Structure 1
Amino acid sequence: MQTEVLDVTGMNSEDCTETVMRAIKTIDGVGTVAVSYPGNRAIVEFDEQLTAPREVAAVLEKAGYGVRKLNLGQASNDGCSGRCGQCGCAG
């Protein structure tokens, strides 16, 4: 499994979190998905044999959102990779 941290643009309310999550989960090979509206982030774990970040981006763009890949170390100022639940990246 591979993990990507995406900067998701166009989320304008907490409702967008569920929309983004549902869109990503439609992709074969996607495992865990964590989305943060305040952090404009989606952390996606996926099987790289079944899908790729470009497919995730394409699905989100089709749903009306913009996407930019981030390095895991950029997920927060302290490099927590968005799993601390305190940085606003995800949690």
Structure 2
Amino acid sequence: MNKYALLAIFWFIIGIYALLFRESTNDIPPFPHFDKVSHFALFFIQIWLSANAFIRSKKGIPYFGLIIFALLYAFTSEWAQATFTSTEKVLGLMG
């Protein structure tokens, strides 16, 4: 297991914490649609780290697998936020 694989696992754990367990505040976001930008960054970095883990281990990048993982991660995190938290709208990307 290389450092990118470890970072991908660590980033996944941080993402789950940030999406589900971190206490939400009523502060005004720094700019409109901040939540959408932060979700994009979270998912982009996760897939980038995962792809780099495969590159560094000299294995082919499983593009289809990473796309499926990204979609499942996005949809399940949105579902979990809607189910287990009281502050996030379902499918926040839609508006």
Alignment TM-score > 0.5, same fold: no
Higher helix share: 2
Please report the TM-score for the alignment, with normalisation by the length of structure 2: 0.30
